[in-house]
Structure formats: C-alpha cells, structure tokens
C-alpha cells in the first residue's frame, strides 16, 4: 500500500537454526506512533534490529516507497535511527561528543542546527556537556541516547524499551518526550514492555508473541481488549 | 658520562618504539587487529629511503602498484553482483590511479639529487597507501572475525610482507643517510641532529594524533568505534571507513619511523619484526588501550634496551622481552580486561 512510511511483509529472522521471527508484517503511516508490545523473548528487539539492518532478515522492508538501503549506514542516511535497549553510548566520551557523533552523516551546518534543537529539548544534557557519558544517571543516559538519535535527523525513530530500568517518574518524562517528538514530524516505532503506557501514546498497536503478530489495531481499542488486558496490562482495577 | 650517552641512546630508540606502540594501540582499539606487520612498514620505509639516497627507484613503488592491483581485484569481486559507477570509479582511482601516479612521481624524482627532507617525504608518500591496500586485501573481508582470527591473519600478512621484502629488496642490509648531519653539544651531551629529528617527529605525531582524536569528527568516530562498535554503526559510522583510516595512519606512522631509524641502524628486509615487537611490548604495557602509558613505556623499553646492551649485551633482547612478563601477571591479577561495555 502506498502512503505508508514503513511497510514490512513476511519478515523472518533466524539465529543459527532457530527462527525467532516467523513472518512479521507491519505497516505504519508517516507521523504516527506505532507500538509493538509483547512478553520478553517474543522477538520485539529482533524486529527493530532487522529493520535497522543489524541482524540479517528475509522478507521485504519497504521504506518511504522504496526497498530500504542494504547497509546500516545507508539506512541511517535515509532517516532510520535505532535507540537500542542498551543505549550503546560512547561511555568514555563526553556528552557533547556523543551528541556530535549522532550527526556523523549530516553536514556541519545541519549538525549545528540540530544541536541547538537538541540542547533546547534536553536542557539537562546542555548542563552536562563536558561530563563523560558513562557518569550519567539512567534517565540521563536514556535522554542522551534519544538526543544522539535526533542528531541524525531521523524520519523514523525505532525505540527499544526506552523506559527499561528507569524510575516510574522518569518513565513518564521519557514517554512525554517521545509523544512530543511526534509533533516535529518524526514517526516512532516503539517497543515496550510497559504496554499500558505505550498504548496510551501510540496510534496503532501490535501484539507480538513467539515471533508472530497475534493482534493488531488502533491503540485505543487494544488498550481495552479484554484478552490483552488480562495477560499484558494486568487485571483492571 | 656513559650513563648520559646510554640515556640518550635509549630515549632515541624509545621514541621510535613509542611511535610503533601508538600505531599498534590505535589499530587494536579501532579494528581489534593485533598488527604484527607494523614493523614491516618500518623496514620498507627505511629501505625505500636508503634506495632513494642511492638515486635508485625503490622496489616499494612496484610493490605498491601490485598491492593496488590486488586490492582492485578484490573490489571487482565484491562488486560482481551489480554496482554503481561511482563506487567503481572510486575504486579505480584509489587502487590503480593513485599507485600509478606515485610510481610516476618516483621515477621522475628518484634520479634527481633531492634534499633529504624531500626524499623522506617521498618515502612516506610511497609507504602510506600500503596501509589502505593491506586493510582491503587482508582485513576488510574479516571485519566481523574474532580477535584470534585477526591475529592469525596478522601472522600471515607479516610473513607475506617479509617475504615480499626479501624478493623486492634482497637480503642485503642498507643504511640511509641522516636527514641532517650536524652534531650539537649541550653541556656534557653531544646530540646528533638526527636524534633531534626523531624527538621532534615523535612529539609532532603525538600532538597530531591528539588533535585528530579530540578535534575532528572522523577522529571522534574512530574513538567511538573503539568504545562501542555497535553504537558507532548505529550513528552511521562505517566499519570500513574507520578501518581504512586506522590502517592508513598506522602505515604513515610506520613510514615515518622507518625514515627516522633508517639512518641510525642498518636495516634488513626482516629487521622490522624485531623493532615492531619492541613497540608491541610498550603497547602491551599500555594494555593495548592507553596512548600515554604506551608512549612512556616505550621510552622505558628504549632505556632498558640501551642499558642492558651495555651491561649484558648478549641478554639484551631477553631482558627487553622479559619486561612483558611481570606486566602480564599484574594485568591478569588486577581483574582482567577492559571489555567494551
């Protein structure tokens, strides 16, 4: 279907002999937030890694109406950007350098522009410019990971468990930032275990179980789906 | 009096080892390659300079053309499943045109009686692109291999480059003319201009590397790759780009070391290995990670070598390489590796 920013069909991924994704199909419209929820080990992170090109996959990935570039760098250049679960920051380098490197594939003028935006969005990081990334707190590290990703001027941001290991209050901060990012025109594919919070900010939801899509639909409908509620959202109080 | 002489000798050699050690740390941290053939670049550099001194066209130019041609074939092979014309032209320019141009320049310039600085620069120009081709031929196909596989590849590259050195230069040792011939007396010390060149070049390269890693985006990308390979890929830093940059820098540093050491020792086709190993001792003391510790350790290695060659000359190498044992014990006791996060 045309008009979609991302169109996955029949994505299979295997680690050695074990197949972990058995033909996932998913589509997302430009400017939307789509969330993929599911239990640990369902293959959510693998899906994001496959979209980014970090793990080899079969099936087709159509991005912006054309097959996605083959290399990771090609995908970054085309506007895809992954914020992985483990953040993968450059821990012995300064906050400033981490942010600067996020714009590695952009021109110096583009970097200068985006840098201002990023520091305005994350004043906390602006204060800690010179500090080493490894000395930041968990929430700050997640912010830095987001800031670094924004420096690549993404059109589609792939977020892997941005709330993992963070205090509840910071989780709300981070998810607020995520839904604010959408207003700038960035589309977001959000993988979360915190299903309730994710469905709250998303437009569409996909439930992945054991490497297959079990359920999909508008996030507002999924949030009230009785079967889903029982297994993933906790019983309603 | 003897002590000051030994110290001077040690520091001079140590400065060269420091350059080699830094190149090894650079390569290992960025590409995880333990680059045994670093010494071959030194030997090639020194022999090239010595041949240029004799007004001959050094065999390294033909070797460079051969390396480029092989690298081009590798590129063609990887392009067999369709490619765009830009990648093809880039490969053509880098692998065939560049060595061809350098070959041409050398043929024109070699018979002229150039000033020694020009000959040194020409030598560096000839050797540096070899880093690009060695990376393309031996290591780029192994980009995702383990450290052990890369080490085995290094042994292979070392033997190949040493063998090629024998074929192209012959078994005869050569000594280059010094860059500058004067001697200066400072107090009780007599310092040769060549040693001053060595100190100057070493300091300049260390400062240059520092500026490169701290101030430029490409340098930061190399550091980032060393700290977190996956993170670097995610921001769009290509493994090939950092690899080729690291190898080019290493080859350039090797060539400079060769130019510096060529006039103070007679270099044979296989001398590079031993010199490289002493740089390696320093790099190990620096944990293959720390540039400053490596540089200081290299000076230490130079001093130990000069004093032991005076007091126990037949055990000189044993003492120098023995230095590594307590360091390894200490490193293994102090909690092991600084794995990337």
Domain layout of chain B by residue ranges: 2-333
Q: Does domain A1-72+189-237 have CATH number 3.40.50.300?
A: yes
Which residue among B220, B231, B236 sits closest to A77, beta carbon to beta carbon?
A: B236
pLDDT of residue B318: 87
Q: Which of B235, B240, B340 to mutate to test the interface with A (most CBs of A within 10 A)?
A: B235
**A78 inside 8 A of chain B by CB:** no
Contact state of B224 with A90 under an 8 Å Cβ cutoff: yes
pLDDT for the residue numbered B337? 53
Q: In the block, which residue shows the tokens 């959408």?
A: A182
DSSP string for B216-254: -HHHHHHHHHHH-HHHHHHTT--HHHHHHHHHHHHHHHH
B50 near B122, Cβ under 8 Å?
A: no
Tell me A224's DSSP state.
Answer: T
- Look at chain A and count its residues: 237
pLDDT at residue number B161: 93
pLDDT tens-place string over residues A199-224: 888 999 999 988 899 888 898 888 88
CA distances from residue B49 to A33, B67, B178, B256 in whole angstroms, order as listed: 63, 19, 10, 10
pLDDT of B189 reads 73
Which residues of chain B lie closer than 8 angstroms to A82, CB-CB? Answer: 234
Domain residue spans of chain A: 1-72+189-237
Nearest CB to A90 within list B217, B231, B236: B231
Nearest-Cα residue of chain A relative to residue B228: A90
CA distances from B154 to B162, B225, B258 (A): 12, 20, 20
- Which positions 188-217 of B are in contact with A (Cβ < 8 Å)? 217
Residue B230: its chain A contacts at CB < 8 A?
54, 84, 88
Distance from the Cα of A100 to chain B's closest Cα (Å) equals: 8
Stretch A58-66: mean pLDDT, rounded? 93
CB contacts under 8 A, A 198-217 vs B, are none
Is B82 within 8 Å of chain A by CB? no
Beta bridge pairs of residue B125: none
CA distance B241 to chain A (A): 11
Contacts of B228 in chain A (CB under 8 A): 88-91
Q: Does B222 touch chain A (CB under 8 A)?
A: no
Dihedral of CA atoms B239, B242, B247, B249 in degrees, nearest 10, equals 180
pLDDT for A235 beyond 70: no
pLDDT beyond 50 at A61: yes
Rounded CA gap, B47 and B56, in Å?
11
d(CA A157, CA A82): 6
Following DSSP, what letter does each residue of A18-78 receive, concatenated?
A: EEEEEEEEEEE-TT-EEEEE--TTSSHHHHHHHHHTSS--EEEEEETTEEPPSSHHHHHHT
* pLDDT tens, position by position, A122-132: 999 999 999 99
To the nearest whole angstrom, how far is the Cα of B72 from the nearest Cα of chain A?
21
Query: Which residues of chain B neighbour A92 with C-beta distances below 8 Å?
Result: 227
If contacts are CB pairs under 8 Å, which of residues 115-144 in chain A contact chain B? Answer: 134
Report yes or no: B232 at the A interface, CB cutoff 8 Å. yes
Q: Do B236 and A105 touch (CB under 8 A)?
A: yes
Query: Nearest chain A Cα to B230, which residue?
Result: A88
- Whether A233 shows a pLDDT value over 70: the answer reads no
- Shortest Cα distance, chain B CAs vs residue A90, angstroms: 6
Whether residue A198 contacts residue A33, with contact meaning beta carbons closer than 8 Å, is answered with no
Residues paired with residue A6 on neighbouring β-strands, in sequence order: A28, A63
Nearest to B220 among A73, A97, A152 (CB): A97
What residues in A contact B235, CB-CB < 8 Å?
Answer: 76, 101-105, 148, 151-152
Q: Is the pLDDT of residue A108 over 50?
A: yes
Question: Which residue, among B214, B207, B208, B249, has the nearest Cα to B30 in the 3D structure?
Answer: B249
Nearest CA of chain B to the CA of A121: how many Å?
Answer: 20
Q: What is the pLDDT of residues A25-36, one digit of tens each?
A: 999 999 999 999
Q: How far is B121 from chain A (nearest CA, A)?
A: 32
Q: How far is B220 from chain A (nearest CA, A)?
A: 7
H/E stretch holding A204 reads strand A204-209
> What's the pTM?
0.88
Q: Do A72 and B236 touch (CB under 8 A)?
A: yes
Position B118 scores a pLDDT of 92
- For residue B327, the model assigns a pLDDT of 83
**B11 contact A CB<8A:** no
Distance from CA of B63 to the nearest CA of A (A): 33
pLDDT < 50: residue spans in chain B: 339-341
- CB-based contact B233 A91, cutoff 8 Å: no
Summarize the confidence of residues A221-229 as an average pLDDT: 81
């Amino acid at each position: 279907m045309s008009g979609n920013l991302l169109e996955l069909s029949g994505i299979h991924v295997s680690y050695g002999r074990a197949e972990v994704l058995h033909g996932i199909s998913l589509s997302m419209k430009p400017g939307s937030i789509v969330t993929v929820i599911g239990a640990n080990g369902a293959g959510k992170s693998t899906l994001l890694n496959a979209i980014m090109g970090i793990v080899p996959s079969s099936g087709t990935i159509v991005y912006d109406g054309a097959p996605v570039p083959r290399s990771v760098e090609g995908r970054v250049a085309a506007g895809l950007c992954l914020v992985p679960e483990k953040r993968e920051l450059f821990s012995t380098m300064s906050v400033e350098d981490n942010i600067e490197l996020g714009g590695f594939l952009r021109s110096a003028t583009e970097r200068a522009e985006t840098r201002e935006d990023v520091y305005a969005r994350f004043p906390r990081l602006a204060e800690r410019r010179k500090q080493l990334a490894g000395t930041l707190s968990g929430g700050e590290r997640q912010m830095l990971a987001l800031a670094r990703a924004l420096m690549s001027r993404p059109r589609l941001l792939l977020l892997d468990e941005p709330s993992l290991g963070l205090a509840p209050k910071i989780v709300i901060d981070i998810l607020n930032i995520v839904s604010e990012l959408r207003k700038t025109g960035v589309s977001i594919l959000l993988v979360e275990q915190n299903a309730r919070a994710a469905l709250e900010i998303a437009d569409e939801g996909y439930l992945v179980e054991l490497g297959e899509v079990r359920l999909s639909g508008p996030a507002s409908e999924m949030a009230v789906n009785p079967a889903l509620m029982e297994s993933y959202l906790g019983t309603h109080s | 009096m003897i002590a000051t002489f030994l110290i001077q000798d040690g520091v001079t050699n140590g400065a060269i080892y420091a350059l080699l050690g830094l190149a090894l740390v650079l390569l290992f941290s960025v590409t995880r390659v333990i680059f045994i053939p670093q010494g071959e670049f030194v030997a090639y550099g020194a022999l090239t300079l010595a041949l240029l001194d004799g007004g001959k066209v050094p065999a390294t130019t033909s070797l460079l053309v051969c390396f480029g041609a092989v690298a081009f074939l590798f590129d063609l092979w990887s392009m067999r499943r369709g490619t765009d014309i830009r990648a093809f032209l880039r490969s053509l320019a880098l692998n065939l045109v560049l060595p061809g141009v350098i070959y041409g320049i050398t043929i024109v310039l070699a018979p002229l009686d150039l000033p020694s600085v020009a000959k040194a620069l020409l030598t560096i120009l000839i050797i540096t692109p070899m880093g690009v081709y060695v990376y393309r031929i031996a290591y780029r196909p192994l980009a995702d291999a383990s450290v052990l596989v890369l080490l085995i590849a290094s042994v292979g590259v070392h033997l190949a480059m040493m063998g090629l050195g024998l074929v192209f230069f012959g078994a005869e040792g050569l000594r280059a003319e010094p860059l500058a011939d004067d001697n200066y007396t400072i107090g009780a010390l007599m310092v040769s201009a060549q040693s001053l060149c060595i100190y100057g070049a070493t300091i300049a390269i260390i400062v240059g590397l520092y500026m490169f890693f701290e101030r430029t985006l490409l340098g930061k990308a190399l550091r980032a790759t060393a700290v977190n390979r996956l993170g670097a890929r995610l921001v769009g830093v290509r493994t090939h780009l950092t690899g080729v940059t690291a190898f080019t820098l290493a080859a350039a540093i090797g060539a400079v070391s060769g130019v510096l050491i060529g006039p103070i020792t007679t270099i044979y086709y296989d001398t590079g290995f031993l010199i490289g190993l002493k740089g390696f001792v320093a790099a190990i003391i620096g944990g293959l990670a720390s540039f400053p510790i490596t540089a200081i350790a290299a000076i230490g290695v130079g001093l130990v070598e000069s004093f032991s060659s005076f007091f126990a000359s037949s055990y000189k190498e044993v003492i120098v390489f023995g230095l590594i044992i307590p360091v390894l014990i200490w490193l293994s006791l102090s909690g092991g590796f600084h794995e990337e996060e």
